[in-house]
């Protein structure tokens, strides 16, 4: 397919700025008739959007399940842009519905965005983020609409879009339209995504290494069957619809974890810098009967312990276990309605293609089956990323150490796997692949830690490369300035207007953060990255 690589760039940054508004508008209105693609497509919207216009996505038919799962129902950017919405066939039986946002202040780069969960939801917040910073920005619906995986049922082409092809097609089409619109090379190509979006980014690195020059991959659902195994295993162990161990008990567990392990990093701040260092002793929590919520019976301790240790089945490794320090979040999220639905959806629509599959029958045997019958390699755990290295690509991989949904330890394992597959030292991987575990950060955002890192839309604390992953990846790709750390900012009550509570430099794996300062851990200069 042509234009996976952008043609050689000339005159970066100049052309868009020198055009008058009306010529930009006119060019936008006539874009729909002029586009040529190597795909069957049709344009739904091609219109100039003035600065600060609020786009009413709900009125345009944004799938209600997307809004329910937390997506904004409106979008607004402070710059003018040409907005294109189109459908592109990915096979005879599948298509993506996608957006291409072409900003007036184009700086000669493109940004492809990923998705989340099983979702067919365009990530408008990342489109906004990219376009605001002068990227021609694209995103697709992942080949289907809404948060359900029902569209995969007996539709291998839709499944293939989900596994890898929606990102591939979206990026190829987006780059081509960018060149056609600005009449110039599309420049360096970037990717940003978290969760499923993190998996999609890794998939592109592994399978289509020519597609992007720089990728930001957060909390990736790589080793996907391991994570699904954990979702099922938790329910098998603690109860199918509700946890037999109450949230109040989990809060007691968390308190005891912090009591035992919070100080290991030198600061009692409610955040475990290196949760893997916590050798938790459950005995202080034991009681003979669960007469109140302040203790656990031996049977309960036996059950809960399983979730924090490696999980194997028939001598096959399944999952490395969750981290300690945020136990109530793990349970409330895994037992939330959306996540409860994933187990039946994944097995009914993807794995067995059988609507009668009964999720209460789940065992880890089902995961072995899924691992061995994975037509599109949804697992996305290949360690050989040498082709991406050879083409000069750069990867910022990050994962919240307090991620209650997609446990961080899988990312540690993946980094180690790439190292052993490529027989590379940390210094050699540093040339193109750097991994940052981010303490106290939840799933993609939130958490008690310093989580504003410019990793997604709506997470910008400052525009400096140390504070913004988007700025950093550009600087690394285009000027060789690699990240030594990632600075996160914690705002008071997570509200920017209330001001900064603290900042922290998150270390590059395998280093860990140690505090030697004197201000209860809130001074970022009191921390240092050290060998574990
Ligand atoms: C868009 O909104 C921002 C923030 O409110 C403002 O600073 C800017 O002047 C606005 N731009 C235009 C063109 O109105
Ligand atoms: C997805 O939603 C869009 C917008 O409503 C619609 O045009 C498109 O046909 C839908 N695609 C599928 C596969 O349902
Ligand atoms: C909206 O999403 C739901 C859940 O994924 C899906 O069943 C439905 O078909 C979608 N609606 C449209 C109009 O695409
Ligand atoms: C779980 O909850 C669902 C929905 O409320 C219900 O239909 C199902 O019977 C429950 N299953 C079990 C094992 O309790
Ligand atoms: C709860 O049970 C523990 C152990 O049996 C006991 O020490 C504690 O006093 C009880 N707490 C309350 C509030 O009853
Ligand atoms: C367990 O593994 C052995 C050896 O690989 C295999 O022969 C056997 O069928 C497996 N059992 C189950 C229940 O998967
Ligand atoms: C791995 O790299 C080391 C150091 O460069 C080298 O000595 C060793 O032979 C390599 N091993 C393999 C299996 O290539
Ligand atoms: C949703 O919109 C609000 C207001 O524009 C913005 O502050 C917030 O960051 C957006 N959320 C996401 C997830 O983009
Ligand atoms: C932060 O949130 C807490 C709990 O909602 C509230 O009690 C407190 O007043 C808030 N602090 C500020 C500075 O708004």
Residue-wise pLDDT for 452-496, tens only, equals 999 999 999 999 999 999 999 999 999 999 999 999 999 999 999
Beta carbon of 458 within 6 Å of any ligand 8 atom: yes
Residue nearest to atom 14 of ligand 4 (CA): 241
Q: Report which DSSP code applies to 452.
A: B
**Which helix (H) or strand (E) is 327 found in, with range?**
helix 327-334
- Estimate the share of the chain in helix, then strand, then coil, as percent rounded to the nearest 5: 40, 20, 40
- 28-45: per-residue pLDDT in tens? 999 999 999 999 999 999
The token duo for 232 is 């099922």
Residue 60 has pLDDT above 70, yes or no: yes
Cα–Cα distance list, 61 to 73, 268, 318, 425, 504 (Å): 10, 48, 40, 50, 41
**Which helix (H) or strand (E) is 304 found in, with range?**
helix 298-306
- 177-205: per-residue pLDDT in tens? 999 999 989 999 999 999 999 999 999 99
Residue nearest to atom 13 of ligand 1 (CA): 51
Please say whether the beta carbons of 305 and 482 come within 8 A: no
Residue 450 CA to ligand 9 centre (angstroms): 17
Atom of ligand 3 nearest to the CA of 147: 5
Query: Alpha-carbon distance 55 to 74, whole Å?
Result: 5
Active site residues: 195, 403, 443
Residue nearest to atom 14 of ligand 5 (CA): 292
Largest CA distance in the chain: 78
> Which band of pLDDT confidence, cut at 50, 70 and 90, is reported for residue 520?
confident
Residue 16 has pLDDT above 80, yes or no: no
- 418-439: per-residue pLDDT in tens? 999 999 999 999 999 999 999 9
Please say whether the beta carbons of 347 and 357 come within 8 A: yes
Q: Could you give the percent of the chain with pLDDT greater than 70?
A: 96
- 218-270: per-residue pLDDT in tens? 999 999 999 999 999 999 999 999 999 999 999 999 999 999 999 999 999 99
The token duo for 38 is 């190597």
Residue 15 has pLDDT above 80, yes or no: no
> Which band of pLDDT confidence, cut at 50, 70 and 90, is reported for residue 11?
very low
- 321-338: per-residue pLDDT in tens? 999 999 999 999 999 998
Beta carbon of 294 within 6 Å of any ligand 5 atom: yes
Please say whether the beta carbons of 170 and 98 come within 8 A: yes
| Better-predicted residue by pLDDT, 240 or 9 | 240
Paired strand residues for 113: 192
Ligand having the closest approach to the CA of 93 = 2
Beta carbon of 150 within 6 Å of any ligand 3 atom: yes
Residue 141 CA to ligand 2 centre (angstroms): 9
**Which among 493, 495, 498 is the best mutation to test ligand 9's pocket, defined by most ligand atoms within 8 Å of the CB?**
493
pLDDT at site 290: 67
Residue 151 CA to ligand 3 centre (angstroms): 9
Chain mean pLDDT for the chain: 94
Please say whether the beta carbons of 140 and 158 come within 8 A: no
Residue 125 CA to ligand 8 centre (angstroms): 7
Residue nearest to atom 3 of ligand 4 (CA): 241
**Which among 312, 313, 314, 372 is the best mutation to test ligand 6's pocket, defined by most ligand atoms within 8 Å of the CB?**
314
Beta carbon of 143 within 6 Å of any ligand 3 atom: no
pLDDT at site 10: 42
Ligand having the closest approach to the CA of 78 = 1
> Which band of pLDDT confidence, cut at 50, 70 and 90, is reported for residue 121?
very high
What are the backbone dihedrals phi and psi of residue 193, each rounded to the nearest 5 degrees, phi first? -170, 160
> Which band of pLDDT confidence, cut at 50, 70 and 90, is reported for residue 19?
very low
Atom of ligand 4 nearest to the CA of 360: 13
Residue 18 has pLDDT above 60, yes or no: no
Cα–Cα distance list, 287 to 281, 292, 300 (Å): 14, 10, 10
pLDDT at site 7: 66
Atom of ligand 9 nearest to the CA of 493: 1
pLDDT at site 4: 60
Query: Alpha-carbon distance 20 to 39, whole Å?
Result: 32
Residue 78 CA to ligand 1 centre (angstroms): 6
pLDDT at site 100: 98
- 491-514: per-residue pLDDT in tens? 999 999 999 999 999 999 999 999
Beta carbon of 152 within 6 Å of any ligand 2 atom: no
- 79-89: per-residue pLDDT in tens? 999 999 999 99
pLDDT at site 69: 81
Ligand having the closest approach to the CA of 70 = 8
Beta carbon of 60 within 6 Å of any ligand 2 atom: no
* Beta strands per DSSP E along 255-373: 311-313, 316-319
pLDDT at site 65: 93
Residue 490 CA to ligand 9 centre (angstroms): 14
Residue nearest to atom 8 of ligand 4 (CA): 241
């Amino acid at each position: 397919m042509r234009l996976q690589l952008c043609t050689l760039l000339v005159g970066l940054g100049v052309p868009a700025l020198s055009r008058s508004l009306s010529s930009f508008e006119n060019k936008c209105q006539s874009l729909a008739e002029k586009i040529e693609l190597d795909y069957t497509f049709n344009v739904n919207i091609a219109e100039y959007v003035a600065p600060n216009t609020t786009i009413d996505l709900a009125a345009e038919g944004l799938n209600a399940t997307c809004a329910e799962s937390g997506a904004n129902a409106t979008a607004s950017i402070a710059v003018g842009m040409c907005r294109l919405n189109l459908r592109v066939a990915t096979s005879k039986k599948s298509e993506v519905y996608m957006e291409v946002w072409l900003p007036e202040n184009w700086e000669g780069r493109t940004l492809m965005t990923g998705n989340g969960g099983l979702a067919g939801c365009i990530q408008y917040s990342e489109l906004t983020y990219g376009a605001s910073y002068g990227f021609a920005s694209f995103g697709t619906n992942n080949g289907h609409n809404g948060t359900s995986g029902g569209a995969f049922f007996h539709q291998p082409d839709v499944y293939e879009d989900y596994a890898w092809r929606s990102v591939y097609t979206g990026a190829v089409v987006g780059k081509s339209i960018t060149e056609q619109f600005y009449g110039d090379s599309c420049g360096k190509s970037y990717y940003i995504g978290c969760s499923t979006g993190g998996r999609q980014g890794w998939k592109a690195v592994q399978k289509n290494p020519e597609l992007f020059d720089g990728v930001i991959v957060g909390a990736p659902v790589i080793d996907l069957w391991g994570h699904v195994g954990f979702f099922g295993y938790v329910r098998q162990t603690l109860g199918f619809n509700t946890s037999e161990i109450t949230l109040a008990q989990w809060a007691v567990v968390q308190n005891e974890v912090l009591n035992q392990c919070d100080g290991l990093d030198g600061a009692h701040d409610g955040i475990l810098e290196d949760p893997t260092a916590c050798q938790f002793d459950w005995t202080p929590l034991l009681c003979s009967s669960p007469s109140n919520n302040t203790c656990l019976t031996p049977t309960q301790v036996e059950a809960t312990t399983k979730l924090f240790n490696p999980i194997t089945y028939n001598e096959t490794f399944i999952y490395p276990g969750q981290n300690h320090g945020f136990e109530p979040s793990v349970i409330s999220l895994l037992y939330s309605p959306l996540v409860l639905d994933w187990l039946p959806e994944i097995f009914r629509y993807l794995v067995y293609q059988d609507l009668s599959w009964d999720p209460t029958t789940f065992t880890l045997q089902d995961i072995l089956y899924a691992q061995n019958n994975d037509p599109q390699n949804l697992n996305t755990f290949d360690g050989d990323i040498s082709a991406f290295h050879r083409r000069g690509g750069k990867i910022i991989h990050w994962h919240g150490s307090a991620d209650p949904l997609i446990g961080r330890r899988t990312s540690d394992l993946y980094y180690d796997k790439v190292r052993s597959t490529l027989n590379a030292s940390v210094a050699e991987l540093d040339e193109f692949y750097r991994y940052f575990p981010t303490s106290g950060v939840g799933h993609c955002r939130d958490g008690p830690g310093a989580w504003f890192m410019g990793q997604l839309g709506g997470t910008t604390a400052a525009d400096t490369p140390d504070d913004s992953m988007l700025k950093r990846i550009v600087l690394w790709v285009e000027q060789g300035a690699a990240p030594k750390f990632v600075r996160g900012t914690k705002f008071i009550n997570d509200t920017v207007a209330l001001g900064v509570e603290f900042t922290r430099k998150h270390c590059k794996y395998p280093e860990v953060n140690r505090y030697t300062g004197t201000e209860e851990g809130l001074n970022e200069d009191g921390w240092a990255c050290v060998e574990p």
